[in-house]
Amino acid sequence: MNFDVVLNNLPYLLWGAWPQGPIGGAALTVWLSLLSGVASAVIGLVLGIWLYMSRGAVHSVLILFLGFFRAIPVLMLIFWTYFLLPVVLGFSVPELTTVVCALALIGGAYLAHSVAAGLRSVGGGQWEAGISLGLGRWRVLWLIVLPQSLRRMAPSFVNQWISLIKDTSLAYVIGVPELSFVATQVNNRAMVYPAEIFLFVAFVYFVICGVLDLVATAIAGEAEPEARTRSV
């Protein structure tokens, strides 16, 4: 094992050509993760609430729509947004935006089902109580049901965000200089010690995912202590 190749290229792997050029590397991976994480949470909440509140034909169409995004590989969706976004919008769109769009849609489609399940897990009595107080359906949802179910949805959000962090590596296929892309650049330039380069890159992703997990666990606090002590 010889990690000199990693040490010599450390600034490039961590923040790309910045400050001389655009930001890249691990810093861009974090930035991509943040953007797509926030966007996927918003899309997931909106579609999840809609899924929960809608009935009949609208509900079926929504299920099909979400099913589509859950059935295709993230890579295919990146191809689609890369190709379709400029056509639909009529002007050229930066690669970064196309990746964020694709990741947010996939993440949102998965989260929508978790959000709907979380809303369903709140007992019917809460609804009846709210309605009998004279509140409208949406007021009950917003004031009573949603706050209670958000806590139950939290683990799904964290899992989805960890998945998103890993999926940002797919930006590689359209040439966004995030961590995986700069790693292959360094690897192609150095031509030696590929194991060291990719072990280091894997370690950086591991740390980013780990930090998110730690922060989430810390915020969740003792919300569900029994879930953590149960073994086997």
Q: Find the binding residues for other proteins in span 43-72 (CB under 8 A).
A: 68, 71-72
Closer residue to other proteins in complex, CB, 136/210: 210
Return the SS3 of 79. Answer: helix
111, 172, 177, 186: which one binds other proteins (CB under 8 A): 172
Q: Residue 198 interacts with other proteins (CB under 8 A)?
A: yes
Closer residue to other proteins in complex, CB, 141/176: 176
User: What span, in angstroms and rounded, lies between the C-alpha atoms of 209 and 191?
Assistant: 28
Q: Residue 227 interacts with other proteins (CB under 8 A)?
A: no
Nearest Cα neighbor of 67 from 110, 118, 119 is: 110
Helix, strand, coil percent values for the chain (each to nearest 5): 80, 0, 15
Q: Residue 202 interacts with other proteins (CB under 8 A)?
A: yes
Nearest Cα neighbor of 202 from 183, 175, 174 is: 183
User: What span, in angstroms and rounded, lies between the C-alpha atoms of 52 and 59?
Assistant: 8
Q: In the chain, how long is the greatest CA-to-CA distance?
A: 71
Closer residue to other proteins in complex, CB, 108/130: 108
Q: Residue 152 interacts with other proteins (CB under 8 A)?
A: no
Q: Which residues fall within 8 angstroms of residue 8, CB to CB, at 6 or more apart?
A: none
Q: Residue 79 interacts with other proteins (CB under 8 A)?
A: yes
Query: Which of these segments, 94-102, 119-127, 179-187, 218-226, binds other proteins (CB under 8 A)?
Result: 179-187
Q: Residue 167 interacts with other proteins (CB under 8 A)?
A: yes
Determine how many CB atoms are found less than 10 A away from the CB of residue 49: 19
Q: Residue 166 interacts with other proteins (CB under 8 A)?
A: yes
Tokens of 24: 């890249």
Q: How far is the CB of 207 from other proteins (least distance, A)?
A: 9
Binding site for other proteins (CB under 8 A): 68, 71-76, 79-80, 83, 162, 165-170, 172-173, 180, 183-184, 187, 194-195, 197-199, 201-202, 205-206, 209-210, 213, 230, 232
